[in-house]
Every structure is written in structure tokens, then in C-alpha cells.
Amino acid sequence: MLVKYLAPAVVAIGAVSAQTATSTCTVSGGTTTINSQADATGLANCKTVKGSVVVTKDVAGDFQLSGPQSITGDLKIEDNSKVNSIGSDTLESIGGEFKITKTTQLNSISMPKLTKVNKLTWQSIGNPAEMGISQLNEVSEVTISDTKLRSIDAINVTNIDSMNLDNNQFIIKYEPSIKTIKKDLNIHANGLDMEVSFPNLIWANLISISDVSKLSFPSLEIVNTSARFDENKFDSFSFPNLTETKAGDISFVGNENMQNLTFPKLTRVNGGVLIANNTALEDISGFPLLETVTGAIKLRGNFTEVKFPKLQSVRGAFDLSSTNDVTDSCKTLEKMAPTKQGGNGKIEGTFDCESNNDEANEDTSGKTGSGQGTKGGDGSDKGSDDKDSGAAGLSVSTGLFLAAAGVLAQLLL
């Protein structure tokens, strides 16, 4: 497999070095610059390269880095329009960043022994269809963007700091066994109808996903900051095990096929809730245990029924507007309005509830609507007057909490 694109001379050097590389080579100045295949073969006797290896834009054709088993720093190949393949039959670990970017003619990457990389960044890497890595067992940050890779299944880790996957038009499925995502998970604009599942994920700091047709997080219990889902194609979504967000919002905007949204165990959102322009969603009844929202709740859509049976405390505004008639729901919800609006004060910010607003779906911003606080329930406040002063209105009524919790700010952006 590997041999087929190698010049015979390179095979010979690679083969010898694989057996003989024994030294630790400390790179002077921390970085060695490789301008040609000959420069690379100069590293053939280095079992460990202490420092970084930078392959310049002058390296052309089939590039082999044979000999080193470990590079303690980075391995970088950037802005190169001449290299066709990159391979190493010996490299097992990269202590820093493995960065390949803007390599327009790159057709193949082959590092079958590579199992450990601190940070993997592959962006606009030409045409490789396969990762060329058998199994990456340790990696803390992954960014794979604008590639023609068909699968990234070789990334098989339990814990990861961040995973960014976007604009990879041939990746249509991703089902990693990751349990913890310490920082961010971002998945956007990959293959049409991409299906994503994280069967073992329990804890994630931040999740942002769009353009997928199936999504599942069966075991996720905690989202530390926010979870955001925009413009996906799934027809239903559930977070069966999610109990709370620690410091962030939950938002669903423009998921046009979504008919069901359920959070059976969610009790607390330390942030806001935004659900807007998901036009197939008629019922908001999937929050049976939700008690506390420390930010605002903003709902825009074609709803006919909205209920939050266990809600005890909303520190921000409650702002609902539907294209349909939600009069009955508004009557029930209104009981929780602030005392100055005649309710029991469970909702501390302004209470708004509006039926038959044809333009309900046009407001998808994090800002909540009217600051005036209509009593709502009868649909008479159609096209509520001062949408743009909403943020100001909200911050007046909930200013104390802005300072105290700091989280509302996110919903007001």
C-alpha cells in the first residue's frame, strides 16, 4: 500500500532507518525546517526528535518522514501546493500539533503507527479520502475542516478537549465512543444528512451542532455551558439523561423538521432557553421536570400548546409568541407572571404571551421581546410594539440578576 508511491531510494532509506534509528536528536532552535526529501532523510537516525518539524512549501511529490518514532513538538505542513503524499512508517507520537493546512495537491496521508497527537489540525488538505491513520488513541484537540475525508473513525478516544468538524462534505456518519468533552464540540456543514451519535458521552462543556439529520446523546447528563442546535434536519430530538446546564443556554433555532423536543430529566438551566423558528414543532411539552431557569425563556414558533408543569423560578423574562392560538397555555403560564403583572412572581422578568402572530418565526435572536410586559393570553398584543427595546426592558427588570448570575448576558447578545 505504502510502497506504491515511493521512489525506490526512499524505500531503501526508510527500511534501513526503521531498524536503526536509535538516537535522540535535539533540534537546534526548537524547529527543524525541511525543504526537501533529502532534508527529511537527515532525520532517519533520530528515534526521537526533540523539537518541531516544519515542512516548507518547497517540498514536492511524495514525502516520507521515516525513522522518527516520536516528535516532541509540532509537525507542520502548511500552504504547500506541491506535495502529493505524506507518509511515515515509523512515527507513533507527536507531542505538539500535527498541522496540515492548505495543501491543495495532497492525495494521501499514511501514518499507520501514529496513535498519539496532542492537537490535530487538518484544514483544506486537498483530496485524501482516508485519514491514513489506523487508530488515534490519544488526542486532545481535533479540528478537521474543509476536507474530502470519508470517515474519521480512526479517532477513537475516551476523553477529548475539543472536537471541531466542519465543511467535510463526505463525512456522513460520526459515532465516537467519547465520554467527556472538556471544552467544545462543534459540528457544522458536513455531509448531507450526516448522522451523529455520541453513545457514551456523559459530560460536555459546550455543544454546537447544525446540519445533521440524526443526533443522539443517550447518556449525556451535564452540559457545563451551552448547547445550541441550529438548522438541523432531524425530526425529533431528545436529551434523555440531561439534568442540567451549569452555566449556559439551551437553544434550538431553525430546525425545520423537528416535531418533538424532549428533556425528560432536565431540572435546571443555569442560563436561558431559546426555541425559535422550528416550524414543525407544535407542542412544547417536553420539559416535565424543569424547575429553574436562571436566564430568560424565549419561545417563537407554530405552537398550539406550551407547558412547563414544574416550573418554579425563571429569573429572566418569559416571552412566548406563536403563529397559532396559545390562549389556553398563556392563561396557565400567566399565573407565574411577576407580581406587578398580577402573577405569583415565579417568573421574575417580564411576562409576554402572544397568539396568532404571523411573524412569530421571524424573530430568532437571543433578545427577548417587549419590555413593556403585556398581560397576554388573548392575542391582542399582536406584533408587539417595541421589539428592539426588549433587551433594555429585560435588563431593567432583571438587572440584579445580570450582575449576580452573569449568564443572562448570553441570551441578550
> Which residues would be at the binding site for ligand NAG (CB under 6 A)?
137, 153, 156, 205, 218-219, 224-225, 236, 241, 246-247, 254, 256, 259-260, 277, 279-280, 302, 323, 358, 361-362, 364
Cβ distance 140 to 121 under 8 Å? Answer: no
Complex with ligand NAG: residue 13 or 274, whichever CB lies closer: 274
Task: Supply the minimum distance, in Å, between the C-beta of residue 279 and ligand NAG.
Answer: 4
Complex with ligand NAG: residue 124 or 260, whichever CB lies closer: 260
Task: Supply the minimum distance, in Å, between the C-beta of residue 339 and ligand NAG.
Answer: 32
Complex with ligand NAG: residue 138 or 146, whichever CB lies closer: 138
Task: Supply the minimum distance, in Å, between the C-beta of residue 273 and ligand NAG.
Answer: 18
Tell me the pairing of strands 83-87 and 297-301: unpaired
Residue 293: how many other CB atoms lie within 10 Å: 27
Task: Supply the minimum distance, in Å, between the C-beta of residue 145 and ligand NAG.
Answer: 23
Complex with ligand NAG: residue 151 or 372, whichever CB lies closer: 151
Task: Supply the minimum distance, in Å, between the C-beta of residue 70 and ligand NAG.
Answer: 20
Residue closest to ligand NAG, measured at CB = 219
Instruction: For 298-342, give the DSSP string.
Output: EEEES-SEE--TT--EESS-EEEEESS--HHHHHHHGGGS-GGGT
Q: Which of 171, 142, 172 is nearest to 156 (CA)?
A: 142
Residues 6+ apart with CB under 8 A from 388: none
Q: How far apart are CA 115 and CA 92, in angstroms?
A: 6
Complex with ligand NAG: residue 326 or 336, whichever CB lies closer: 326
> How many angstroms separate the Cα of 45 from the Cα of each of 69, 86, 302, 330?
10, 19, 68, 75
3-class SS of residue 4? helix
Cα torsion angle, 252, 255, 259, 262, sign = negative
Task: Supply the minimum distance, in Å, between the C-beta of residue 388 and ligand NAG.
Answer: 15
Complex with ligand NAG: residue 40 or 276, whichever CB lies closer: 276
> How big is the chain by its Cα radius of gyration, in Å?
27
Complex with ligand NAG: residue 66 or 364, whichever CB lies closer: 364
**Which conformational region is residue 80 in: left (phi greater than 0), alpha (psi within -120 to 50 degrees), or beta?**
beta
* Residue pointed to by grid coordinates 455520541: 198
Task: Supply the minimum distance, in Å, between the C-beta of residue 240 and ligand NAG.
Answer: 7
